[in-house]
Amino acid sequence: MSSKRVIIVGGVAGGASAAARARRLCEDCEIVVFERGPHVSFANCGLPYFVGGEIVEHDSLLVQTPDSLHARFNLDVRVKTEVLRIDRHGRRVHVREVETGREYDEAYDALILSTGAAPLKPPIPGIERPNHFTVRTIPDVDKIMAWSRGCERCRAVVVGGGYIGLEMAEQLRHRDFQVTVVEALPQVMTPLDPEMAAWLHAELRDNGVTLHLNDPVAAFEAPTPAEPARASIVVLKSGRRIPADSVVLGLGVKPETKLAREAGLEIGALGGIRVNEHLQTSDPDIWAVGDAIEVHDFVTGQWALIPLAGPANRQGRIVADNVFGRSSRYEGTLGTAIIRLFKLTAGCTGANEKSLRRAGIAYQALHLHPNSHAGYYPGAEPIALKILFAHETGKLLGAQAVGHDGVDKRLDVLATALKVGMTVNDLAGLELAYAPPYGSAKDPVNLAGMAAQNVLAGDVGIAQWSDVPSPALLLDVRRDDERASGFIPGSIHIPLDQLRARLGELPRDREIVVYCESGQRSYYAARILSQRGFRVRNLTGSYRTWTMTQR
């Protein structure tokens, strides 16, 4: 093995992972990690939980330290040291010690950039006012903790309903702050389709979070004499003025590409560093990973920015392989993500409807509400499950799930299925772990596959919550007591068990869209009706999905 000199810029998720793997591949190499901040390998994903008090010890956020990385991996980790420039021709980096200002050069044989992403701060008037916080580093949350100490029932406004904003909203509620979430778009968590995000809207409101959707921030202002003496007034485009003791900015992130840009490396149209499948930049001696790079969306094949810890960590391993001559490929990112919001868990993997439409890929969408485990065993909870699959082939394209129990394991099965290119037939045939406390003999993932098989086989047509055609007759086949607790306006009611006897009440010259609570009994009804010559479709997800979209 050659004794290369490897320099890594950025010592957190991707950088630390690359450094540790590099050492495992080359005991004699010199490996230097430069990190601008005071910490390496810290738990950025844990930061909101430290603010909320679920993670109690500050030191728990430090997964490794420069000393522990030196002891275990013989890494030369230099914190508080910023890389200012790359001299590609001389194969050197120019660095500055943040505290002393001392500047010097270091030579490299291979350079790995894991410079991450920076919180977005759009030019909204007043965005830099006091008590406005971003959440990216330990010093960021130290500032939030310093502000919040001694602050009782303070009012925090979280701007941005992405996962960092929502995790912060949850954690600030845990600490009994009054919390408002402001989102410019009509929904939070945009990787979810709107009817799935609707569950999160309800959970936020049910837990005392005030939610303003579809209303971007126009300005942050000082309070007028007539307003409460707060740190800022958050002024929305609608004219609403929200007093805030603090503002948490969760407006997304943008790749940190200054070094790469100034060194003339290729930058993609989305603003991330362009790399090939071996994570090599346009300079063969320079590699890049993590939030700073553009990746291929695994499903659509399009370039994408997907800033997540799993991809960054795996890329760190792959890049080290390639630096040391092992041809290792990064195959693209599925965007598998999960969030806990109070008692709810929500997650997604692969494409959503927006990304499929953008990519021009024909798809079918199915909603189900299966139980998390056998219904007869105590504690079963419905999971709102959505799958997207290719119109012609049945290939799985994406999945989303929301619920109180069992969401994470279904999501991980579906993410695995996506990665290996499974079809809905494969999902129907999966043999998954079952005992009553854990699942059902037909697991939700099996049921999703079977329901999709029914569609592909032409056994049932489906209607979506968003396109219940107005001339169609809506038929509710639930029980009387279910009907009494609410129904879709304009629908008629024939309980499923009476349907065969009451076919004469239904028109043969109109399409019938049939619904029940979850879509299962309405599927049975659709089969009865279609075999009796009626034109019929099943409302996928049925009343449960439809009601969520109305909240």
Interface residues with ligand FAD (CB under 6 A) are 9-10, 12-15, 34-37, 44-45, 47-48, 82-83, 114-116, 135-136, 164, 256, 259, 290-292, 307-310, 312
Q: Rounded CA gap, 161 and 168, in Å?
A: 10
Listed in sequence order, the DSSP H helices in 115-193 are 138-148, 163-174
H or E element in which residue 88 lies: none
Task: Name which of 92 and 241 has its Cβ closer to ligand FAD.
Answer: 92
Q: Which residue has the tokens 């994406």?
A: 398
How near is the Cβ of 266 to ligand FAD at its closest, in Å? 18
Residue 236 CB, shortest distance to ligand FAD, in Å, is: 24
Return the SS3 of 261. helix
Q: How far is the CB of 285 from ligand FAD (least distance, A)?
A: 17
Residue placing its CB nearer to ligand FAD in the complex, 111 or 217 = 111
Catalytic residue among 26, 29, 348, 516: 516
Helix, coil or strand: residue 493? strand
With contact defined as beta carbons under 8 Å apart, do 423 and 429 qualify?
A: no
| Smaller CB separation from ligand FAD, 48 or 382 | 48
Residue 279 or 513: the one with the smaller Cβ distance to ligand FAD is 279
Least distance in angstroms from the C-beta of 45 to ligand FAD: 3
User: How far is Cα 425 from Cα 420, in angstroms, rounded to an integer?
Assistant: 13
Q: How far is the CB of 11 from ligand FAD (least distance, A)?
A: 6
User: What is the maximum alpha-carbon separation in the chain?
Assistant: 89
Residue 516 is among the residues annotated as catalytic for this protein: yes
Please give the residue whose beta carbon sits closest to ligand FAD in the complex.
290
Residue 159 backbone phi and psi in degrees, to 5: -100, 115
**Backbone phi and psi for residue 288, each to the nearest 5 degrees, phi listed first:** -150, 150
β-pairing, 241-244 vs 232-236, is: antiparallel
d(CA 400, CA 406): 13
Q: One-letter amino acid identity for 254?
A: K
Decide whether 227 or 262 has the Cβ nearer to ligand FAD. Answer: 262
CB of 319 to ligand FAD, least distance (A): 11
Of the two residues 258 and 442, which places its CB atom closer to ligand FAD in the complex? 258
Q: What's the rounded Cα separation, in Å, for the pair 216 and 234?
A: 10
Smallest CA-to-CA distance from 537 within 521, 516, 515 is with: 515
End-to-end CA distance of the chain: 62
Residues taking part in catalysis:
516
